Amino acid sequence: MPLVILAIALVAAAIGGPHLLFALRHESTDDAQLDGHLSPVLARVSGEVVALLVADNERVATGQALLRLDTRDHDVRMAAAEAALAQARAQLASERTLVAVVEANIDADAVTLANLKDDFTRDAEMFKTGVISDRDFRKSKADAENASAKHTALLRQLDAARARVTLAEAAIPVREADLAAARLQRSYTDIVAPIAGRVSRRSVEPGQFVQAGTPLLTITGDEDVWVTANFKETQTGKMRPGQTVTFEVDAYPGVEFHGHVDSLSGATGAKFALLPPDNATGNFVKVTQRVPVKVVIDDADNAAHPLRPGLSADVSVLVKQDPRP
């Protein structure tokens, strides 16, 4: 009888020993899912969908065209902006021409003014000696004063013309910005993939009118997939970044994947809930919290067993190395 008991004990140790050793060295959880980048594609401008270029679950590359909106309204706005810019440039050219004309008039008038001033100076001397009459003297003086007033008026006209040039110059970048904005808005009618991945949750059809900000579809990125494992707080005391991780996903029973701990969340999952628990009110019931742990997958590029965000996983973290050499 003792031999039978001993045999049973040895069999139990042989069977249960590895499991016990695994449990002592690992922390495990089945509260885990694969995560990835889910990039929503939104309409940046309003318009009618005139072309849908991708199908559900189709793989797309970064920058690939997904759909197109009607461009006619934007074409009209862009044409109006181009016309306004051309008009502003023509106005600037006209004002600069006017400045050149006024400057030429001033140069010509300056010669006339100088001659009349010389005549007045000579006539004043001649009037003192009685060579010319008072009438001729007064006429010479009036001519010089009128020429001076005309010259002053031309200078003021030049200042006003230069001011108009300044205003016309300031209008150019404004019109250029309007045209750039119109072109940018038109470019938004070609909607492209922000990341590489698969088309998911398509909610738009050809002929549908969409408003700016409307969700059109989602791109599920498959180039960067990781595991988010929610461990009990009592399991995380010995967890550190870099520790070895093994996990299985329900989609591929018996297939083991490998990774390592990347980081532990700065707060428990409950803190990010829509209504976080408030233990300061009511009757307190202690509940073990869970801490999200990010696991980077070392063999994610596995064509035979592709990993997709949302798949459930069973995760084990090696928190204690084998003491044996």
Q: What is the pLDDT along the chain (325 residues), one digit of tens a residue?
A: 565 555 554 554 445 445 455 556 789 999 999 999 999 999 999 999 999 999 999 999 999 999 999 999 999 999 999 999 999 999 999 999 999 998 888 888 787 778 777 776 777 777 787 777 778 778 877 877 887 888 888 889 888 999 999 999 999 999 999 999 999 999 999 999 999 999 988 999 999 999 999 999 999 987 789 999 999 999 998 999 999 999 999 999 999 999 999 999 989 888 887 777 766 666 777 888 999 999 999 986 777 888 889 999 999 999 876 554 4
- Calpha distance 272→203 (Å, rounded): 28
List CB contacts of 64: < 8 A, sequence separation 6 or more: 54, 192, 193
Structural domain includes residue 14:
no
Both tokens of 139, joined, read: 């006429």
Cβ pair 56, 199 in contact under 8 A = yes
Cβ pair 318, 25 in contact under 8 A = yes
Q: How many helices and strands (H and E) does the chain possess?
A: 3, 12
**Do 44 and 117 reside in the same domain of the chain?**
no
Say which residue the tokens 């989602």 belong to: 218
Domain boundary among 129, 163, 187: 187
Structural domain includes residue 306:
yes
Q: What backbone phi and psi angles, to 5 degrees, belong to 241?
A: -55, 140
Cβ pair 186, 44 in contact under 8 A = no
In this prediction, residue 235 carries a pLDDT of 92
Domain span holding position 152? 72-187
**Do 286 and 300 reside in the same domain of the chain?**
yes
Q: What backbone phi and psi angles, to 5 degrees, belong to 198?
A: -120, 145
pTM for the complete prediction?
0.70
Structural domain includes residue 17:
no
In this prediction, residue 325 carries a pLDDT of 45
Both tokens of 55, joined, read: 């199908």
**Do 273 and 213 reside in the same domain of the chain?**
yes
Look at the chain and report how many structural domains it folds into.
2
> Which of 290, 299, 289, 319 is CA-nearest to residue 226?
299
Number of Cβ atoms within 10 Å of the Cβ of 300: 20
Structural domain includes residue 15:
no
Structural domain includes residue 119:
yes
**Do 174 and 37 reside in the same domain of the chain?**
no
Cβ pair 78, 183 in contact under 8 A = yes
Structural domain includes residue 133:
yes
HSE-up of residue 170 (Cα within 13 Å, Cβ side): 6
**Do 233 and 298 reside in the same domain of the chain?**
yes
Query: Each residue of 225-237: b (16+ CB within 10 Å) or e?
Result: bbbbbbbeeebbe
**Do 112 and 208 reside in the same domain of the chain?**
no
**Do 203 and 282 reside in the same domain of the chain?**
yes
Where residue 246 sits, what CATH number does that domain have? 2.40.30.170
Domain boundary among 130, 163, 187: 187
Structural domain includes residue 211:
yes
Domain boundary among 146, 165, 187: 187
> Which of 291, 325, 318, 242 is CA-nearest to residue 23?
318
Q: What backbone phi and psi angles, to 5 degrees, belong to 106?
A: -65, -45
- The DSSP line for 67-117 is EEE--HHHHHHHHHHHHHHHHHHHHHHHHHHHHHHHHHHHHHHHHHHHHHH
Structural domain includes residue 194:
no
**Do 146 and 128 reside in the same domain of the chain?**
yes
Measured in whole angstroms, the distance separating CA 213 from the mean position of its chain's CA atoms is 14
**Do 164 and 59 reside in the same domain of the chain?**
no
In this prediction, residue 3 carries a pLDDT of 57
**Do 110 and 100 reside in the same domain of the chain?**
yes
**Do 159 and 269 reside in the same domain of the chain?**
no
**Do 159 and 249 reside in the same domain of the chain?**
no
